[in-house]
Amino acid sequence: MNNQSPSYADHNGDISSIAERWRIVVDEVKQEYLAENQHYPWIIGFSGGKDSTVVAHAVFEALLDIPPSKRTRPVYIVSNDTLVESPLVMAHLNKVSSRIKDAAESLELPITVARTTPDPDKTFWVLLIGKGYPSPNMTMRWCTDRLKIMPTSGYIKKYVSEAGAAIVVLGVRRDESQTRQRSIEKFRNQRGGRLTEHDKLPGAYVYRPIVDLSLDDVWEILGYFPAPWGGTHIDLIKLYRESEGGECPVVLSSDEAPGCGTSSSRFGCWTCTVVEKDKSLQGFIDAGNHEYLPLVEFRDWLREIRNDPSMRQAIRRNGKLTFAASGRHIPGPFTIQARKLILERLLDVQERFGDRLITDAEINLIHENWAQELQNEKGVADG
């Protein structure tokens, strides 16, 4: 079994064994929910991927086992929409979020389903096409902070301010990677319990209910146990099989950013130019979703033009001509002409794809940015 192609049905694990491990997780979630800090809200970082789904499943199931009179701690299941997520992944996330919301309301559980998005002036298209930010790469990954960290961190800070503290519930596991394991060990048991202080968000604590589960455990739980909000997890399992990749996780700080857009295949933003090839989106195409081909072609082109000198201004946004220590010229943003070409090609891709990829509000902001930049250039020339 692997991250890219789950096949829990072929696993020889004992159902009683996984049921016992699962019961331990749910019981611990119940204990933590009923702990002395009950007035602190729980904020579950929900990407819709395998790990965050298992966490949401555990919390939902734990709440069902708790008497209504003791369900006093509010729980927020929060997902982040960068507005350039893989459409197939967003369709899945929307469907699951809706099911969780409806079931929680019907069962009178203290669960709120929420979604964060970038500020209107900090969306991917407004920054790339409007302001000319070059396509992100590993050394200049400006997208992670603006599209992921800032929206979700802002949401958490709001509840820290209102309640005095907040507990962020994350689906991180020790066996994900050596980097993840080192991070977990660094902050493990700071307070002598299951909570650790978040090093970047004052007043926020982190709770990792599935930290000791293995990858096989996760897939077996998703395969053996029906979703407590109704139905099964089979659609999620199918999504992984077709995508040939893992999900980009919830990111709350720059330290966690390496999980967003790595050299490995991941489904997340369809515009991600940090990865060399979007194997996950290609996996959807290979599985028969040919409507995604224009998106892959556009992403590849967006990555190629990043280093085309004719597409970039010589001067950076700070007005300076910059050179690296090696003497190499560091170009500035995309030229206005390049940005117009990107927008034209994006609108063409949108028409071929048959669904919205950029909003009218973003297009208006893009044109406002162009007009302001041209006005500033004219002012400098006249001066």
| pLDDT of res. 253 | 57
Q: How many CA atoms lie within 13 Å of 249's alpha carbon, on the beta-carbon side?
A: 22
Angle at 85 between CA 141 and CA 353, to 5 degrees: 120
Q: What ranges make up the beta strands (E) of 1-46?
A: 42-45
Question: Phi, psi (5° rounding) for residue 211?
Answer: -60, -30
Structure tokens at 154: 């802002």
Question: Phi, psi (5° rounding) for residue 352?
Answer: -70, -35
Domain boundaries, the chain: 8-262, 279-382
Q: What ranges make up the beta strands (E) of the chain?
A: 42-45, 75-80, 111-116, 166-169, 195-197, 204-207, 246-247, 266-267, 322-323, 329-330
- pLDDT by 10-residue block (mean), the chain, 383 residues: 44 75 97 92 96 97 97 97 93 97 98 97 98 93 94 95 95 71 50 81 96 94 96 92 66 55 62 88 86 95 95 82 76 95 98 97 98 80 55
Cα 92 to Cα 240: distance, rounded to the nearest angstrom: 11
Share of the chain above pLDDT 90, in %: 67
Q: Is 130 exposed, middle or buried (0-12, 13-18, 19+ CB in 10 A)?
A: buried
| pLDDT of res. 4 | 47
CATH number for 8-262: choose from 3.40.50.620, 3.40.50.720, 3.60.40.10, 3.40.50.150.
Answer: 3.40.50.620
